[in-house]
Amino acid sequence: MFCTWDYSSWYAWLQRFVCPFQIFFEIFTVKYLIRFFKCCIAIRSASRRQDAYSSNFTVIKCGENGTGKTLTGIDYAISLAEEQDDVIRKTYKLYKANRKAVEKDEILSKDFKELEEYIEFWDAHEDCFPGLFSTVPIFVDGLKVMELKRDHVLQYIRLPYGSVCLYDEAKLDFPAVGTPTAEERAEESPGADFISKVRHYGNFHFIFVSQKSSELRKFIRNNVAMNEYIIKNEKILRPNWMLDFINWLEDYIYDFPINVNFLYKPIFYIKKFLNKIGFFKFQSVTYSNTETETGKTELEKKVYYMPLNKDFIYDSRCYRTNYKAKKETLSYNKAFSGLQRRDLYPLVNPEK
């Protein structure tokens, strides 16, 4: 009726108590590996996670704060720039090998000149990632990225042929792009003209990042824009128990009565390593930019992945230098002296 445990040998004892945990560990490991390889396959098959829309579209990435708009925008811009650079260099090599035939064709000869200018420009900037302009400072495998300015969009500065342009928070530079009247958009009309004809002007590609796509929708022709609303992102396949242990250890030594500051250095590098393990999982919905009676046409719900160990770095707070009070001293901050509230608009800095 009752089970009699066999303690006749250490081997039998270990088999009783260790095997169940071993089986659990093996199942967990197999499950983890299956999920890991599924993410890897999804990433590879999606051609850098974002092949749901044609590169001919101007892409607008929108969503709530912290959903990964800028992160996915950068990732897509890098992958598209790599693809475009590869295509342009191959085409240039083909045309160069058939120079005489190309020169006889009026259209091909014009294309060849633009391709040649592209090659010369980026070969002269070997320290920069080829084909990519961005308003966000990015380093891709140690290479810098060319700065995209408002004057590029207003057609005061020329872009190289085939450039991929990432414009983060365009609403800040173009406050009138979403306004309905032509008078309010008059100053920015060269920008509207440029964005609506980027494919014709130089085979350019634009990725906009904004809180709401409606802010940019009137800036772009309806049939050439694709809106991606990012619903959320989460981190998966993480070594959470290791991170929990490191965080517990960090809290423990913080209150430890003896000076153990030497432990902070290994903790820093261990956390840095562990934070590179795993994947981002993004969930989004893509819409066309054309509205019908029922609203925008929903095209596809997407789930895609990105490794946490990215091949690029950027500062998600790169606008911190635009903070107008950044250079001011902190000495003007005062605590309440009582329960009486001060004036709503007090004179903070009388010297100014």
14-28, 140-154, 169-183, 241-255 — which is least confidently predicted?
14-28
pLDDT at 13 over 50: no
Q: Which of 46-55, 207-216, 293-302 has the highest mean pLDDT?
A: 207-216
Buried b (16+ CB within 10 A) or exposed e, 140-150: beeeebbebeb
pLDDT at 116 over 90: yes
What is the tens place of the pLDDT at every residue in 33-67? 777 776 766 665 554 444 545 566 778 888 778 88
* Identity at 62, one-letter amino acid code: C
Each domain of the chain, given as residue ranges in start order, spans 7-45, 51-231
CA atoms within 13 A on the CB side of 43: 19
Strand pairing partners for 288? Answer: 226
Domain 51-231 listed as CATH 2.170.130:
no
Kindly indicate the confidence band of residue 2, based on its pLDDT and cuts at 50, 70 and 90. Answer: very low
User: What percent of the chain has a predicted confidence (pLDDT) above 70?
Assistant: 66
The reported pTM is: 0.73
Kindly indicate the confidence band of residue 1, based on its pLDDT and cuts at 50, 70 and 90. Answer: very low
Write down the pLDDT at residue 222.
52
Instruction: Give the pair of three-digit tokens for residue 146.
Output: 């060319």
